[in-house]
Amino acid sequence: MSGIFTSSIGKKLLMSLAGIFLIVFLLVHLGINLLVIIYEDPMVYNKAAHFMSSNILIKIFEIVLFGGFLLHIIYALILQIQNWIARPSRYNKANYSNTSFFSKFMIHTAAITLVFLVIHFMDFYIKAKFGHAAEIIVDGVAYHDFASEIVDKFKVLPFVIFYIGAFIFLGFHLIHGFQSAFKTLGMDHKKYTPVVQGAALVYTILVVAGYTLIPVIIYFI
């Protein structure tokens, strides 16, 4: 059992499982964020966010989510460092003939995405946890007014550009990561590979377009 945590295959397996978990989370998070533009009443989003932050099952899921993030990041770094150590002299001319465009820059897109996530967590999660977020009282219940904060941020063009750019880089990371995760789980076959590749493309376009649509609509409307 301990080999799962120490072997190269075990690390890839755990990283893939964590990655798939995060892939599912992105869709759930997108569904909640879309409430900001679907409903004119900001309290629809605020109440959904309040439920997500106060429900005991969601709190447990939150711990699992952070665990998934850490697991994915830690094992990705370990595997990348091991790859670097395995080729200390590097090649005078890198041979990428068997490497996809997206896989070449996985570590780079991951680093950019990580910077974005840190900023995102500081903007919302940290503010909510330490009481710095604006609040609104409805029927005697205090809600964090995240909807208004989102609208305010997406009225600032530099932030909109940064946000969209971050998700474009995330898309580059996802399209290879999605395929790689299922490949690690054994779906590397001429029958399944085209299906996984197609699903990766559809999923990536859906996620990037969905998250991009929110700031674009808020900024221009």
Inter-residue long-range contacts of 130-139, CB under 8 Å, 24+ positions, other chains counted: 136/43, 136/46, 138/43
For residues 206 and 22, give the distance between their C-alpha atoms in angstroms, rounded to a whole number: 15
The per-residue pLDDT string of the chain (221 residues; one tens digit each, 9 = 90 and over) reads 445 555 667 667 777 777 788 888 889 889 999 999 999 999 999 999 888 878 787 777 777 777 777 777 777 777 777 777 776 555 444 444 434 555 666 777 777 777 877 777 777 667 666 656 678 888 888 888 889 889 999 999 999 999 999 899 888 888 888 888 888 777 777 777 888 889 999 999 999 999 999 999 999 98
Helix (H) or strand (E) holding 146: helix 146-153
Give the pLDDT score at 96. Answer: 44
First-to-final CA distance of the chain: 55
CB distance 143 to 205 below 8 Å: no
Give the pLDDT score at 41. Answer: 93
Give the pLDDT score at 101. Answer: 55
pTM to 2 decimal places:
0.76
For residues 215 and 221, give the distance between their C-alpha atoms in angstroms, rounded to a whole number: 10
Domains, the chain, ranges and CATH? 3-85+102-220 (1.20.1300)
Give the pLDDT score at 172. Answer: 86
3-state DSSP call for residue 140?
coil
Give the pLDDT score at 217. Answer: 96
**How crowded is residue 214: how many other Cβ atoms within 10 Å of its Cβ?**
21
Total residues found in the chain within this entry: 221
For residues 124 and 121, give the distance between their C-alpha atoms in angstroms, rounded to a whole number: 5
Type of residue numbered 209 = A
In the chain, DSSP assigns E strands to 135-138, 141-144
